[in-house]
Amino acid sequence: MTDQELTTREKQELKTSEQTRPGRTYVPEVDIYETQDSLWLWADMPGVDENSLEVRVADSVLSIEGQVSLQEYDNLNPVYTEYNVGNYKRSFSLSNDIDVAQIKARMTDGVLALELPKAERAKPKRIAVSVG
């Protein structure tokens, strides 16, 4: 862990594009970690299941988009609410050090886990030293 203090932030509403579907779209909160072989990305997308999730890479941009079913909320009259319900969307520019053909995604309990393997050329290599 670095010396930098990690802080949380308020949930952000996506405002960069027009919506064709009713409801709000939020920027999911993410954690990204690096290992010797991969980058790992976890995105918090409560209410999204694996059937309503789309993960794609095009032109070196990784996009994640999750749709939340709003049927559970149709006939409710909120008295008080702190939990905002909506869809999720976020995009990341990928470096050429990521092997896009080997990206793996898994959705568990509203958390999307992505493994972004490093290309062989990006992995550290040990150089043998000869005597003499």
With respect to residue 3, please indicate whether it lies within any of the assigned structural domains.
no
* pLDDT, tens digit, 9 for 90 and up, residues 75-129: 888 788 777 788 999 999 999 899 999 999 999 999 999 999 998 877 778 888 9
The total number of structural domains that make up the chain? 1
Q: Which pTM was predicted? A: 0.74
> β-pairing, 87-93 with 25-27?
parallel
Question: For residue 110, what is the DSSP state?
Answer: T
CATH number at residue 45: 2.60.40.790
Domain extent for 22: 12-120
With respect to residue 5, please indicate whether it lies within any of the assigned structural domains.
no
The identity of residue 88, as a single letter, is: Y
Distances (CA, A) of 46 to 39, 101, 118, 119: 22, 27, 28, 31
Question: For residue 44, what is the DSSP state?
Answer: E
Strand-pairing partners, residue 56, are: 63
* pLDDT, tens digit, 9 for 90 and up, residues 38-47: 999 999 999 8
With respect to residue 7, please indicate whether it lies within any of the assigned structural domains.
no
With respect to residue 103, please indicate whether it lies within any of the assigned structural domains.
yes
